Amino acid sequence: MHPSSQAPICVQLTLNAVTGIRQGSVLMLRPGATTLEIAAKDLLLAGADGVAFGDKTTIYVNSVTAGKLLRMQIGPDGKAKSVVELKLPRPLVRPDCIRTIGKQRLLLDENSGTMSVVTFEGPEMQTVVLLTLNEGLEATPAVTAAKGIAWIVEGKLNYRNDPALKDKDAGTFKMYAMPLPKH
């Protein structure tokens, strides 16, 4: 989801974590709780949009506005012990949706129309490895995975955001099925 000029907060819910694009924060809903609690609020989280779990204590967050991928280590109290910006092999262009597809393995879409599998290597797994699955799709703000298939949804947000396309017909929205690599 993306904020409109009226919306005070934009959230994306994945498992039990929520991001606030404008608040630079990640909120958590702890088991049995009825209200969200701030897990992290940090300048690095500016534009926080997509959120996915790498494992029980690791959360990955992307910034749609800054093109960053961040890792948070979560303590037993549900609060972030650290927020670290990861090293990218290339710039991310408006990374939007991120989904867990295995332990420390993610599916990431960018509104530039690029879909990638994300893994990590190097000291403390600080370096991001991007395996591009597809490029050149219409802006893709949503993806999910089921049974080895990535389901990618066109958002065509460029028709809302680009003044040159404002009054143009976006045409039919499409969903694509793409097999995920095994490893």
Q: What is the pLDDT of residue 21?
A: 67
User: Which pLDDT does position 17 carry in this prediction?
Assistant: 64
Residue 150 lies in a domain: yes
Q: DSSP character for 88?
A: P
8 inside domain: no
Tell me how many domains the chain contains: 1
* pLDDT in the model for residue 5: 35
* Among 76, 77, 28, CA closest to 51: 28
- Asked if residue 161 is part of any domain, the answer here is yes
Q: What is the CATH number of the domain that holds 50?
A: 2.120.10.30
Task: Please give the chain's pLDDT, 183 residues, in tens.
Answer: 333 333 333 334 344 667 666 778 888 887 788 888 888 999 999 988 889 999 989 999 999 999 999 999 999 888 999 999 999 999 999 998 899 999 999 999 998 889 999 999 988 888 999 999 988 887 777 888 999 999 988 877 778 778 998 889 988 888 889 899 887
**Residue 5 Cα distances to 1, 10, 166, angstroms:** 13, 11, 16
In the beta sheet, which residues pair with residue 83? 72
Task: Retrieve residue 174's tokens.
Answer: 């499409």
Which whole-number Å values give the CA distances from 15 to 18, 30, 166, 177, in the listed order? 9, 11, 35, 23
In a domain, 2, yes or no: no
6 in any annotated domain: no
pLDDT of the residue at 124 = 84
76 assigned to some structural domain? yes
Range of 106's domain? 13-179
Instruction: Note whether residue 7 is domain-resident.
Output: no
